[in-house]
Amino acid sequence: MNWMIRAKNVFKTYPNGFQALKGIDLEIADADFFTLLGPNGAGKSTLLKVLSGLLRVDQGEIKINSLNPEKHFLQIQRFLGVCSQDNDLDPTDDVISQLIFQGRLFGMTYKEATKRAEELADLFMLNDEVKKKAQDLSGGNKRKLHCALALVHNPKLLFLDEPTVGMDPLARDNFWRVICHLNQSAGVSIFLTTQYLEEADKHASHMALIIQGNLHFNGLVKDFKLQMHPESSLNLEESYLKYVRSLTEKGENHAV
Ligand SMILES: Nc1ncnc2c1ncn2[C@@H]1O[C@H](COP(=O)(O)OP(=O)(O)OP(=O)(O)O)[C@@H](O)[C@H]1O
Ligand SMILES: [Mg+2]
């Protein structure tokens, strides 16, 4: 098996003493469409940040395409695209300039970067927005720009942290067409976090469920659904609700 992501016994405590990850083990195959689910505050964005090398782990081992995110940070950034949950865009620069700048950062000539920027603006239906400053974009269009920026250098691994929040239905449909095409035709590995479980259900083959920094499930989406209800065909959202409600009922967890 070709592993794109391998994490073993990963712990992360923030400087204020809060332990966000409590021993996470995860293996994600190359070209997989994987989704990480869990309630607000479960540790999804934290895990995404440690896997992409943006945060240091306290303990544990991480390999991204056989490379260590702390030791080989720059090497990994060349094939990694990250659409983080926060829209950390340059507020005063316009859409097309930000896309071109991103391409230049990845070593493209001005001509190549402009071509790629125009391609992505078109792909993400941002054609009417290209001259607007990021701060003047609507919420959904900010998310589109963020995702477009993550794709400029044709990454082979994409981290998408709640990418479609605020996008209208047509934009979301378009977004998933783009992402699924990359996954299916170009073998791009997808690591998605989302609270829109119908999106995860529709597109992901593997999933993990994290609650209060602990892994509760890791495997095929269809196996999670089967585990929750062997005889009927519950969808992922129903299965998820059944699982987290059972924890609350058992009094095992108050944060779900
Ligand atoms: N910089 C920080 N300092 C201290 N605690 C933090 C910091 N960032 C996140 N946390 C805490 O770590 C926990 C996990 O946060 P994280 O953002 O990873 O959750 P999440 O699963 O992505 O949630 P959401 O679904 O709301 O995006 C939360 O309790 C959060 O308050
Ligand atoms: Mg998050």
* CA-closest residue to ligand 1 atom 7: 14
- Average pLDDT of the chain is 94
Report CA(43)–ligand 1 centroid distance (Å).
6
Report the pLDDT value the prediction gives residue 52, as an integer from 0 to 100. 93
Which band of pLDDT confidence, cut at 50, 70 and 90, is reported for residue 189?
very high
CB 14 less than 6 A from any atom of ligand 1: yes
**Residue ranges near ligand 2 (ion) with Cβ within 5 Å:** 44-45, 85
State how far the Cα of 130 lies from the Cα of 94, in Å rounded to an integer. 7
Report the pLDDT value the prediction gives residue 254, as an integer from 0 to 100. 53
Query: Please, what sign has the CA dihedral across residues 146, 26, 43, 209?
Result: positive
Assess whether pLDDT exceeds 80 at residue 251.
no
Which band of pLDDT confidence, cut at 50, 70 and 90, is reported for residue 88?
confident
Assess whether pLDDT exceeds 70 at residue 182.
yes
In the chain, how long is the greatest CA-to-CA distance?
60
CB 110 less than 6 A from any atom of ligand 1: no
* CA-closest residue to ligand 1 atom 31: 41
Mean pLDDT of the region 139-158 = 96
Report CA(161)–ligand 2 centroid distance (Å).
7
Domains and CATH numbers, the chain: 1-79+194-256 (3.40.50.300)
